[in-house]
Amino acid sequence: MRTFELTYPHALVLDELPNTISAIGFFDGIHKGHQKVIQAAIDEAKEKRMESAVISFHPHPSVVLKKDTQHVKYITPLKEKKELLKQLNVDRLYIIEFNQELSKLSPQEFIDHFIIGLNIKHLVAGFDYSFGHKGSGNMNNIADYTRDKFTFTTIDKFTLDDEKVSSTRIRELLQTGKVEEANRLLGRFFKLDGIVIKGDQRGRVLGYPTANLRVNPDALLPKQGIYAVKVIYKNETYEGMASIGTNPTFTAEREDLSVEVNIFDYNNDLYGEELYIEWYKYIRDEEKFANAEELIEQLALDEKNIRAYFSR
C-alpha cells in the first residue's frame, strides 16, 4: 500500500495517476460497516483491473469545525488505520488534511480536486457520506458533480441485530466497558499498542509485575477498570489481565490513567518493547483497597477468574 498525505491544494498530476476505484470516508474504527464499503471498492477494482484506494481524512472534522472540541480520541488513530488498510490489501491510501480551507470547498471544488483530480473512475461510499462546505454534497446529489468522469456506488447502512454499526456506537460501548459488544461491531478485537515504560516498580513486590504502556495520546481508552486481555509480543500471544486506572490504593489525586498488564506465565524484562493488547472482557471496577495485602488477594482472584474465562 502506498500512502499519500495530501493538503489542499495537492500537487499530484492527473496524467501520472493510475485509473483508480476508491472508497471514501472518515472510517474511524474500520468497523464492519466500513469494511463493507472498502471491500466493495477492492472487489470492483479487481474486476476492472484498476488500482484500489481509500480516501480518508485527518484530523477528524470536529477538531476543525467545533469550537469546544480540543482533542478527539480515535478508535483507530492514524497509525492503526494505516495498518488495518494495509492488511485489507488496499493499493493506495490518500489521507487528506482536514483544515479550515478544506472545509470551505464547495462540493464541486472538492470533487474536481480530490475525486476527478485523483483519477478516481468509480467511487464507493456509505449512504451517509457527505462532502463540501457544510456537507452539502452527499450520495443523493453526487450525480450533479461527477461531470460524467466517474461512476459511484452507495452502500446501505450496515446493521447487526437491527442496530446500525457506527463509530459512535462503538465509542459508547468501549467507554462503558462493553468490549465484547464493541468487538462484535468491529469484526475483530479492539486493540491498543504501546511501548513498555517504567512504573513505580511496585508490581513485582506485590507478586504481580505489570508492564506499563505508553499509549498513543490520540487513542480512545476503554472505561477505567480491570480486563481479561491477550498480549501480542513478538508474534507470540499471551493471556493476561490489564488495568486502566489510577492505582487508587497507592496514589491519591492522579489525573492521567495508566494502562498496565500482568502477563500470565511470563517472566522477562520488557522495558522499551512494543506490546499489542487485545481487549476481551471487562471484569470489575478499579477499587481503593485498605492495604497492599487486600489488593494482592483481589489480584489472585482476578487471575483465577480470567484464566477460567479463557479456558471455557
Ligand X SMILES: Cc1cc2nc3c(=O)[nH]c(=O)nc-3n(C[C@H](O)[C@H](O)[C@H](O)COP(=O)(O)O)c2cc1C
Ligand Y SMILES: Nc1ncnc2c1ncn2[C@@H]1O[C@H](COP(=O)(O)OP(=O)(O)O)[C@@H](O)[C@H]1O
The contact set with ligand Y (CB under 6 A) reads 196, 198-204, 209-212, 262-263, 266-271
Show Cβ contacts of residue 238 under 8 Å, excluding neighbours closer than 6 positions: 230, 231, 232, 263, 264, 265, 266
Given the complex with ligand Y, which of 65 and 300 has the nearer CB atom? 300
* Residue 287 touches which of ligand Y, ligand X, none (Cβ within 5-8 Å per kind): ligand X
Rounded to a whole number of angstroms, the minimum distance from the CB of residue 285 to ligand X is 8
Rounded to a whole number of angstroms, the minimum distance from the CB of residue 204 to ligand X is 7
* Residue 198 touches which of ligand X, ligand Y, none (Cβ within 5-8 Å per kind): ligand Y
* Residue 241 touches which of ligand Y, ligand X, none (Cβ within 5-8 Å per kind): ligand X
Given the complex with ligand Y, which of 65 and 205 has the nearer CB atom? 205
Residues 118, 109: Cα–Cα separation, whole Å: 13
Rounded to a whole number of angstroms, the minimum distance from the CB of residue 302 to ligand Y is 14
Rounded to a whole number of angstroms, the minimum distance from the CB of residue 266 to ligand X is 13
Residues 97, 57: Cα–Cα separation, whole Å: 6
Phi and psi angles of residue 138, each rounded to the nearest 5 degrees, phi first = -155, 180
Between the alpha carbon of residue 277 and those of residues 146, 244, 263, the distances in Å are 43, 12, 11
Given the complex with ligand X, which of 125 and 241 has the nearer CB atom? 241
8 Å CB contact between 185 and 171: no
Rounded to a whole number of angstroms, the minimum distance from the CB of residue 276 to ligand X is 17
Which residues does residue 164 pair with via DSSP β-bridges, in sequence order?
Answer: 159
Given the complex with ligand X, which of 101 and 200 has the nearer CB atom? 200
Rounded to a whole number of angstroms, the minimum distance from the CB of residue 211 to ligand Y is 4
Q: Of all residues in this chain, which one has the CB nearest to ligand Y in the complex?
A: 203
Residue 250: Cβ-neighbour burial (10 angstroms; 0-12, 13-18, 19+)? middle
* Residue 268 touches which of ligand Y, ligand X, none (Cβ within 5-8 Å per kind): ligand Y
* Residue 218 touches which of ligand Y, ligand X, none (Cβ within 5-8 Å per kind): none
* Residue 196 touches which of ligand X, ligand Y, none (Cβ within 5-8 Å per kind): ligand Y
Given the complex with ligand Y, which of 75 and 241 has the nearer CB atom? 241
Given the complex with ligand Y, which of 8 and 289 has the nearer CB atom? 289
Between the alpha carbon of residue 212 and those of residues 33, 226, 251, the distances in Å are 33, 14, 15
Residues 82, 61: Cα–Cα separation, whole Å: 18
* Residue 96 touches which of ligand Y, ligand X, none (Cβ within 5-8 Å per kind): none
Residues 276, 61: Cα–Cα separation, whole Å: 28
Residue with cell 481503593: 288
Rounded to a whole number of angstroms, the minimum distance from the CB of residue 195 to ligand X is 15
Binding-site ranges for ligand X (CB under 6 A): 199-203, 206, 208, 210, 212, 226, 241, 243, 247-250, 260, 262, 286-289, 295, 299, 302
Given the complex with ligand X, which of 109 and 193 has the nearer CB atom? 193
Q: Is 27 left (phi over 0), alpha (psi -120 to 50) or beta?
A: left
Residue in 164, 120, 171 with CA at minimum distance from that of residue 146: 120
